Amino acid sequence: MSTLDADIQAVASLKEQGGSSWDAINPESAARMRAQNKFKTGLDIAKYTADIMRADMAAFDKDKTKYTQSLGCWHGFIGQQKMISIKKHFNGKTDRRYLYLSGWMVAALRSAFGPLPDQSMHEKTVVADLVRELYTFLRQADARELGGLFRALDAAREAGNKAEEAKIQDQIDNHVTHVVPIVADIDAGFGNAEATYLMAKQMIEAGACCLQIENQVADEKQCGHQDGKVTVPHADFHNKLRALRYAFLELGVDNGVIVARTDSEGAGLTKEIAVVKERGDQGDIYNSFLDVEEIDVADMAEGDVCFNRDGKLVRPKRLPSGLYQFRQGTGHERCVFDCIEAINAGADLLWIETAVPTVHEIKGMMDDVRKVHPDAKLVYNNSPSFNWTLNFRQQAYDAMVEAGEDVSAYDRTALMSAEYDDTALAATADERIRTFQADTAREANVFHHLITLPTYHTAALSTDNLAKEYFGEQGMLGYVAGVQRKEIRQGIACVKHQNMSGSDMGDDHKEYYAGELALKAGGAKNTSNQFN
């Protein structure tokens, strides 16, 4: 018996108990509404998607081709359209394809203050609000798709087409939800460990099964691709990792996933000298990376901060801001140390921000981490902050030089130029870009690949193209040829925007409530019929 049939029987039983007051209630209609609202709460979603992520992580451990991917989405509609497209293009499946919630895009696009830099200045609650909004739109996509199947089922029944009816019923019984895991950015926790816990609870209750947190100072947080990043000692960061775990456990999401991000590769500053209890402990190792100078007590100036290292008095270099400086060239070591200790503290996945997308650099750090934790898996930001074309053309150029090939036709500093687009070097670079995710999954154990803010850029690009044509000589043809004609021919669902907004579902409900008396919007005079 299908879930739908079971619900029909359950509602029929309730109707029988309810007596005449339930006469107008159709058990099948109620069962259909239940099917269209599979997930009743955000916690239902968080538990369901956490199980998906855990299963995907286990599958990746056995087969490195089974890495996962996501795109950052800054609005529920964007996330919804992404998942509708994925189902359309990949045989109705969503396997290993997630959503990413970018703190950068929350700051730039969702704050009541208006566009802000990625420095945790926006309202904390807008992050959980976006998680909730994304899942609202994904659940609506389920309801819309199932509604279409129910209407097709009714048509097959009316036509007496048993084969078609069975086919559609099978699609209903085995419907694949648009609801997938979200990797959600909680920045540096928006305050101390208690603030992190409270914010995590809001995000989990909204549906987040995976929280990504970074080891920067909460009130000094910078985008991972900006300068001026300030990290915190491991004890401070690990308190927040534990706060996330307790939030998951309190809410019953026992499989919740924590991503620990280290910004140490590009961060040269710390706000604190770590507490040391004994030689070689976490704090001692953290402090060993500080840029210090050995001094005598007589050399100490008023207000100097100094400490004992191996029986010698040393003074860490301190900036006018009060921040302490790490030694140059220690980024790799600090990243490895951060990653090992984060897993020891309970993180499930790691995130290393790098200056450029280079397979060997990522592999080098992960090789060192995996000497201690062989199954350590990475989440990697395929960031739009990288100039992918220039970086990979320069990598291809350097490989040619190393191989002794003639590079006289190329200017390494100008490889972004379109004049190189049809060259062998450009083709090699593009192939490296194409296989980058598969290569790093295999070589560096990257489980999840994401692009933080691609839909920010696609919105800007498509709007620019439309504005240029519509307000120029093309006029209305700029919209028709550039947008609508492509929507129709590519089968973009929202070409029927009334249907996408829920008009047909509203008609279904009106019919449930009022029967033949229902005043429906989807009649013969609905102009959307032009797109049938």
Catalytically active residues are: 223
Query: What SS3 class is residue 72?
Result: strand
**Distance in angstroms (rounded) separating the CA atoms of residues 277 and 283:** 8
CA 329 to chain centre: 30
**Distance in angstroms (rounded) separating the CA atoms of residues 454 and 382:** 10
**Distance in angstroms (rounded) separating the CA atoms of residues 325 and 317:** 6
**Distance in angstroms (rounded) separating the CA atoms of residues 266 and 309:** 25
Cβ-based neighbours of 63, under 8 Å, separated by 6 or more: none
Query: What SS3 class is residue 316?
Result: strand
Strand partners, 293: 315
Q: Work out whether strand 312-316 and strand 446-451 pair parallel, antiparallel, or are unpaired.
A: unpaired
Tracing tokens 């706000």 back to the chain, one arrives at: 271
Q: Work out whether strand 324-325 and strand 269-270 pair parallel, antiparallel, or are unpaired.
A: antiparallel
**Distance in angstroms (rounded) separating the CA atoms of residues 261 and 229:** 13
**Distance in angstroms (rounded) separating the CA atoms of residues 268 and 490:** 48
Residue in 195, 211, 214, 212 with CA at minimum distance from that of residue 248: 211
CA 317 to chain centre: 38
Residues, the chain: 532
Cβ 155 vs Cβ 126: under 8 Å: no
**Distance in angstroms (rounded) separating the CA atoms of residues 335 and 320:** 26
Largest Cα separation within the chain, whole Å, is 99
Cβ 166 vs Cβ 133: under 8 Å: no
Tally of CA atoms within 13 A in the half-sphere of 463 that contains its CB: 6
Cβ 157 vs Cβ 138: under 8 Å: no
Cβ 215 vs Cβ 264: under 8 Å: yes
Which ranges constitute the DSSP H helices of 403-435?
Answer: 424-434
Cβ-based neighbours of 196, under 8 Å, separated by 6 or more: 186, 189, 190, 213, 240, 243, 244
- CB count within 10 Å of CB 3 equals 14
Secondary structure percentages of the chain, helix, strand, coil, to 5 = 55, 10, 35
- The DSSP string of 362-404 is HHHHHHHHHTT-TT--EEEE--TTS-HHHHHHHHHHHHHHHTT
Strand partners, 376: none
